[in-house]
Structure 1
């Protein structure tokens, strides 16, 4: 159980840090703004170059990985193991 917890925590912190860095670059219009990290993406994806498009895509992927990765290790895998134990004992 401890290894699943640390795997989920590692995914959460690593992907969360990556998302925070990219969101700080692409979703913060200025440091004096009160809408940091929640503003729309600053270079418009319709006319952004390849590296900006890759970073914006990676930012979205890291966000969902930070949410769904720990969920898999903290909820789904233990639930599947408990269900397998219940089915084997029945």
Structure 2
């Protein structure tokens, strides 16, 4: 179980850091405002801005779903498989 935890933590850390870097570029108009990282995405006029916003959204969902998979879904599946195996053995 420790390997699933560290894999989920690695995904959460790396994906979260990537998202925060991109969000600070595209979702923060001013560092004096209280709406940092949660503003609407600033309009990007170039292809690189569009790719950055797309990568930011992808990293967000990768972080959430990756951590959820390794911390909840895989252990839950192993518990269910073990319970079914024990039930068949009886």
TM-score (norm 1): 0.91
Deviation of 1:3 after TM superposition, in Å, equals 0.5
- Give unpaired runs (5+ residues) of structure 2: none
Secondary structure in structure 2 of the residue aligned to 1:59: helix
Count of paired positions: 87
Output one character per residue of 1:8-58: Cα deviation in whole Å (capped at 9) or x when no partner: 0000010000000000000000111111111111125xxx22111111011
TM-score normalised according to structure 2 size = 0.91
2:37 is the counterpart of 1:40: no
Larger radius of gyration: 2
Q: RMSD of the TM alignment (CA)?
A: 0.9
Trace 1:25-36 onto structure 2 (pairs within 5 A): 25-36=25-36
Gaps of 5+ in 1: none
Q: Distance in 2 between matches of 1:7 and 1:24?
A: 25
